[in-house]
Amino acid sequence: MNWINNVVRPKIRSFLTTKREVPDNLWVKCPESGQMVFYKDLESNQFVVPGSGYHMRMGAKSRLVALFDGGAYETISVPPVPQDPLKFRDGRRYTERLKDAKTKTSLEDAVLIGEGRLDGQNIVSAAQDFDFMGGSLGMAAGEAVITGLTRALEKGTPFILFAASGGARMQEGILSLMQMPRTTIAVQRLREAGLPYIVVLTDPTTGGVTASYAMLGDVHIAEPGALICFAGPRVIQQTIREQLPDGFQRSEYLLDHGMIDMVVHRHKLRETLSRVCRILMNGGGKAKRANGHASANGRMIETTAREAAVLEVRPMDVASPVVGDGAGRDATAKTSKPLAKDKSSPA
Amino acid sequence: MESMTERPAPNIVRTYLKFETPIAELERKVQELRALEGSETAVNIADEIKKLEQKAHAALAETYAKLTPWQKTEVARHPERPHCLDYVSGLIEEFTPLAGDRYFGEDEAIVGGLGTFRGRSVILIGHEKGSDTESRLRHNFGMAKPEGYRKAVRLMEMAERFQLPVITLCDTAGAYPGVDAEQRGQAEAIARSTDTCLAIGVPLIAVIIGEGGSGGAVAIATANRILMLEHSIYTVASPEAAASILWRDSSKAIDAATSMKITAQDLEALGVIDTVVKEPVGGAHRDPALMMKRVGDAVAKAIAEFDGKSPAEIRRQRQDRFLEIGRSL
């Protein structure tokens, strides 16, 4: 297709290239070992480089496909938010950047919400896509996280979040910053209802995302070698002008410093998540949840039931379910393609 | 709008910002003439002084009526601008500082304590930048580490226990970006502090008195009412940081400040803050006493709005307030 790209004008080019999920290069180089891997092999290995075990970044859709039974899940659409409220431009218009990101990822914004089953348990999950403007947290992503948490609350299911983000979306200014408290409210409501909130921290999780919903989980799981921090290494280096310690701000470092519960290989992730959710859901909280009481947090008890009951939920239509063929991960990764055109809100 | 019959600026300004050069020249002339006044017998010198003073005041009022976002950034960072501890001594009686997070240490970038505000027992928490080299170092230029935010959490929980309103004063370029801060969980500390702001069942009133910088500010500014001084700024990232992220060039800070909507006026229009507190002509540092009074009045009014409200109602109002942001833009 390269010659087409050279001839066709940029605007038209995007139509030609949207449908490809395979990158230009069929071979991918492992950043750690330098080894070349065939893309299909990488995809079928959940983007873990065979041999070196390096965890490559993974798109939101692949995440959800890998999580749910048979790769089947329903996309939950997110209420539309104002696009470009600040009329921002930094060299280019923000609206153009958004359009490009949508084309590139076939997502509406950086967070994708899905609902399905994990070893038979009902689960709501959110996956953040680093390819969508660095997974940055803007109004749409914030609203998506809130929608996902609210959905889990309504359905009485655990919520699993796959975090991947460069932080706040500068182009939305203060409205991006306000997503930190906004998402925290939704986390609190899930917590008060006694439902598990599990965060999977993937490479990279930084800035305002780490400093809000990604650090408020009941259980924090990180993938090996992921960069997880508030201020990035570049910023810190500029401030202190010294060499940073080895492995600084990587998953294993955070584990040593008590910020996360475990570092789990991607191939063991599903099994771990399933077990944690099952054990948490089988405690005494089960009866409480059934009675509409909720919350072990003493000070919240009186408000909890009431607040949960009157929680206003914005209308959301459940988009077309994606049905996996049940033949396992590899096959379902392909069937997730039509999902690209699901009915999630046009915004 | 208030009338212009304010007291003439009682504070002698030592630091002039670049855009204040014409004002600085006028004021210098006034001072020179004043010095002559006693010795000379010149007849019209008093008149001359009065005329020049009026001219200087008019220039000041005109300049400050239309500050650009970048100029406001400079005013918000003005070294003589009243800082947290100035407000504490101006507004809080019997202030009793409390220290430490009970886990690791004491962080003086965030000060906090008990006191009486216009007859009410309150807890006050705020970023302190310091006012000279020694105190700036001690307060780490108002850039808090995890222990600062964990102290804030401790104080907010205490406020909840004793049913005391919380007043927070925000003035930080952002949370401290350093190895030790990251090591001890800066992100978690900020997240937990915001979480606590949203959980307590007592009124929480935040005032952005200078710079409201990013997550470091949100951590204590997630309040029932957010007041902001006329020339303060509140940003997702400091203009320099935003410029370095967007253009990979921190010298584009002026562009970033302009496009990001960081002024009190813009944020009021976006529904992010509730009230803009008017500053004295020429900025808060020109008349700190007047500024204190106005901030005091605005805070007292905001607290009084929650009199008789139950903890659940207060929490609910705060949550709704934040969930509503952006939904009606």
Q: ipTM of the assembly?
A: 0.92
**Contact call for residues A226 and A199 (beta carbons, < 8 A):** no
Contact B218 A181 (CB under 8 A): yes
pLDDT per residue over B215-233, tens digit each? 999 999 999 999 999 999 9
Distance CA A333, CA A44 (A): 8
- Confidence at A159, pLDDT banded by 50, 70, 90: very high
- Give residue B7's pLDDT: 44
- Confidence at A12, pLDDT banded by 50, 70, 90: low
Considering only the beta carbons, identify the residue of A177, A257, A300 that sits closest to B185.
A257
More confident residue, A337 or A100: A100
- Confidence at A240, pLDDT banded by 50, 70, 90: confident
What angle (nearest 5°) sits at the alpha carbon of residue A189, between those of residues A210 and A298? 105
More confident residue, A338 or B64: B64
Burial class (CB in 10 A: 0-12, 13-18, 19+), A243: exposed
More confident residue, B245 or A201: A201
Residues in chain B: 329
Say if B187 is an interface residue toward chain A (CB within 8 Å).
yes
Considering only the beta carbons, identify the residue of A88, A181, A302 that sits closest to B222.
A181
Q: Which residue of B has its CA nearest to A210?
A: B187
Over residues A280-308, mean pLDDT: 56
Highest-pLDDT range among A40-49, A286-295, B27-36, B198-207: B198-207
Shortest CA gap B292–chain A (Å): 26
- Confidence at A24, pLDDT banded by 50, 70, 90: low
More confident residue, A146 or B51: A146
What angle (nearest 5°) sits at the alpha carbon of residue B272, between those of residues B266 and B275? 75
Over residues B150-164, mean pLDDT: 98
Over residues B252-258, mean pLDDT: 90
Here the tokens at position A211 are 């400093």
Over residues A74-91, mean pLDDT: 91
Distance CA A103, CA A112 (A): 15
- Confidence at B45, pLDDT banded by 50, 70, 90: confident
Contact B186 A230 (CB under 8 A): yes
- Give residue B32's pLDDT: 84
- Confidence at B159, pLDDT banded by 50, 70, 90: very high
Say if A147 is an interface residue toward chain B (CB within 8 Å).
no
Distance CA A285, CA A153 (A): 14
The average confidence (pLDDT) of chain A is: 82
Say if A230 is an interface residue toward chain B (CB within 8 Å).
yes
Say if B323 is an interface residue toward chain A (CB within 8 Å).
yes
Over residues B272-296, mean pLDDT: 96
Say if A301 is an interface residue toward chain B (CB within 8 Å).
no
Say if B11 is an interface residue toward chain A (CB within 8 Å).
no
Distance CA A305, CA A292 (A): 6
**Contact call for residues B302 and B225 (beta carbons, < 8 A):** yes
- Give residue B236's pLDDT: 95
Q: Is the pLDDT of residue A14 over 70?
A: no
Distance CA A162, CA A180 (A): 16
Say if B272 is an interface residue toward chain A (CB within 8 Å).
yes
pLDDT per residue over A202-236, tens digit each? 999 999 999 999 999 999 999 999 999 999 888 88
Say if A219 is an interface residue toward chain B (CB within 8 Å).
no
Q: Which residue of B has its CA nearest to A147?
A: B323
Residues 81-100 of A with CB under 8 A from B: 81-82, 85-86, 88-91
* Ramachandran region, residue B45 (left: φ > 0; alpha: ψ -120 to 50; beta: rest): alpha
Tell which of B156, B236, B325, B327 to mutate to test the A interface (max A CBs under 10 Å).
B236
- Give residue B65's pLDDT: 94
Distance CA A109, CA A173 (A): 17
Here the tokens at position B166 are 């919380």
Burial class (CB in 10 A: 0-12, 13-18, 19+), A244: middle
Find all residues with CB under 8 Å of A99, minimum gap 6, and list them. Answer: none
Exposure letters B199-234 (e unless 16+ CB within 10 A, then b): bbbbbbbbbbbbbbbbbbbbbbbbbbbbbbbbbbbb
Burial class (CB in 10 A: 0-12, 13-18, 19+), B125: buried
Contact A174 B241 (CB under 8 A): no
Neighbours of B173 (CB within 10 A): 25
- Give residue A339's pLDDT: 37
Q: What percent of chain B has pLDDT over 90?
A: 79
**Contact call for residues A80 and A64 (beta carbons, < 8 A):** no
